Amino acid sequence: MRFAYSTASTTVLVGLALAAVGCEAQGRQGGRGGRDVREPTIPPPTIVEYRPRSTLVVPEHQVPRAKFPVVDFHGHPPNLASPENIRTVVEAMDRLNLQVMVQAQPSSGERLTSQIEAVRAAGHADRFVFFASLDLREVGPGSGARIAAQLEADVRAGAVGVGEIMKGFGLSITKADGTRLRMDDPELDVVWETAARLGIPVFVHTGDPAEFFQPLDYQNERWLEMALFPDRRFNDRSRYPAFDDLMAERDRMIERHPNTTWVLAHMGWHTQDLARLGAIFDRNQNVLAELGAVLYDLGRQPRFAREFFVRYSDRILFGKDSFAPDEYPYYWRVFETADEYFDYYRDYHAFWKLYGMDLPDDVLRKVYYANALRIIPRMPTAGFPTP
Ligand SMILES: [Zn+2]
């Protein structure tokens, strides 16, 4: 029963205030994460069933084609030794305004040279550049020199970078003696120094989102993805290092090689804590970051991410990771518009909507192509605006 005050409006206000106090008190006691303890009167949907449609009406700006030509620093196109694959990929690149794609799919030796030759023969040498992979299995005494020699041969054959070094490095790859190969293993020093001497960037993917290393409980914001993909659970400390220990290993490797240009894939998996990545940038002038597959984090913090991109505009590279032409326009829309509350393309990454960062043109140009042109040697310059 409400209090019998003199006017109707006062009665309503007092009633609402009491209801609010009541909810908070119940939430604190109820132990349901601070939510109302009232139970649904019909069976609730499961996490995969509930798909509310947004009723929000706001201005929308679809961006099918990037505003400036783009270098995709993190390409995983199908094998480019096939003329058919080359044609399919170039057609998609033309539509999206992707001028150059880095082939970051692990390839070395014959697998690398066959693709370089096929792309040349197809007349598309100005649309692809190739990075070389490293064979990091069974590392033991002398392995560093062997890996460095293969890298030199691959660079002579046309490779212009190292990578993508996949996440097994640090997580699961073992040495010849059966122990985990640590990222800062001194046996590999010669490899990173060789990359520095050759003037090529080292593109390294370390770990995965921090939540994948946490308990799989109902507070984990990646619960669905971890439930869908058992191989993305790294929370068993008897098998995998902790997220922070792994990143500390990576940071020691970077700091020991200040003349090597390091590019952290997926922005080092620090997009949920951009200041942490900023501190790495501040400590190491030789580090850049590539932004593939973390759009869900950038698009949920459009103001802070914008500030970060403006401040570190010389250190961030566009990359997409998986080759799915329909997904690139989500990136253009987040970077180029100020649109609000729009859908993301992969529901198990994020239970939230995206917002546009409305980046200034000079930042877009650096992130889209200028930084890549600066750090990758022998980059084709056709199709890019002259500075
Ligand atoms: Zn990748």
Mean pLDDT of 226-232: 96
State the distance from the centre of ligand 1 to the C-alpha of 79, rounded, in angstroms.
Answer: 14
Report residue 159 as tokens.
């490779």
The predicted structure's pLDDT at residue 11: 38
DSSP 142-187: THHHHHHHHHHHHHHTT--SEEEEPTHHHHT-B-TTSSB--TT-GG
Say how many residues make up the chain.
387
| Residue 115 phi, psi (nearest 5) | -75, -40
State the distance from the centre of ligand 1 to the C-alpha of 16, rounded, in angstroms.
Answer: 52
State the distance from the centre of ligand 1 to the C-alpha of 207, rounded, in angstroms.
Answer: 12
Mean pLDDT of 328-350: 94
Mean pLDDT of 15-38: 49
State the distance from the centre of ligand 1 to the C-alpha of 181, rounded, in angstroms.
Answer: 20
Is 276:332 a contact under the CB 8 Å cutoff? no
Reply yes or no on whether the pLDDT at 6 is more than 70: no
State the distance from the centre of ligand 1 to the C-alpha of 128, rounded, in angstroms.
Answer: 16
State the distance from the centre of ligand 1 to the C-alpha of 303, rounded, in angstroms.
Answer: 27
State the distance from the centre of ligand 1 to the C-alpha of 318, rounded, in angstroms.
Answer: 13
pTM of the model: 0.90
* pLDDT tens-digit readout, 236-278: 999 999 999 999 999 999 999 999 999 999 999 999 999 999 9
Single out the residue of 245, 243, 287, 286 nearest to residue 265, CA to CA: 287
Mean pLDDT of 157-182: 98
CA 231 to each of CA 27, 68, 145, 236: distance values in angstroms, whole numbers, following the listed order = 36, 37, 32, 11
Give percent of the chain with pLDDT exceeding 90.
87
- Please, what is the average pLDDT of the chain? 92
Evaluate the CA torsion angle 229, 246, 258, 269 in order and state its sign: positive
| Sheet with strand 202-204: strands edge to edge | 162-165, 202-204, 262-264, 287-290, 316-317
State the distance from the centre of ligand 1 to the C-alpha of 319, rounded, in angstroms.
Answer: 9
State the distance from the centre of ligand 1 to the C-alpha of 44, rounded, in angstroms.
Answer: 38
State the distance from the centre of ligand 1 to the C-alpha of 367, rounded, in angstroms.
Answer: 18
The predicted structure's pLDDT at residue 123: 98
State the distance from the centre of ligand 1 to the C-alpha of 290, rounded, in angstroms.
Answer: 10
Reply yes or no on whether the pLDDT at 17 is more than 50: no
The predicted structure's pLDDT at residue 2: 38
State the distance from the centre of ligand 1 to the C-alpha of 320, rounded, in angstroms.
Answer: 8
* pLDDT tens-digit readout, 243-252: 999 999 999 9
**What does the domain layout of the chain look like in residue ranges?**
70-375
Cis, bond preceding 164 (omega within 30 deg of 0): yes
Single out the residue of 192, 313, 312 nearest to residue 259, CA to CA: 192
State the distance from the centre of ligand 1 to the C-alpha of 60, rounded, in angstroms.
Answer: 30
CATH T-level assignment (fold) for domain 70-375 = TIM Barrel (3.20.20)
State the distance from the centre of ligand 1 to the C-alpha of 106, rounded, in angstroms.
Answer: 9
Mean pLDDT of 203-208: 98
352 against 6, higher pLDDT: 352
In whole angstroms, give the CA distance from residue 310 to residue 316: 10
State the distance from the centre of ligand 1 to the C-alpha of 380, rounded, in angstroms.
Answer: 22
In whole angstroms, give the CA distance from residue 43 to residue 88: 47
Reply yes or no on whether the pLDDT at 22 is more than 50: no
The predicted structure's pLDDT at residue 28: 42
Report residue 275 as tokens.
């200041």
The predicted structure's pLDDT at residue 386: 86
The predicted structure's pLDDT at residue 303: 98
State the distance from the centre of ligand 1 to the C-alpha of 218, rounded, in angstroms.
Answer: 29
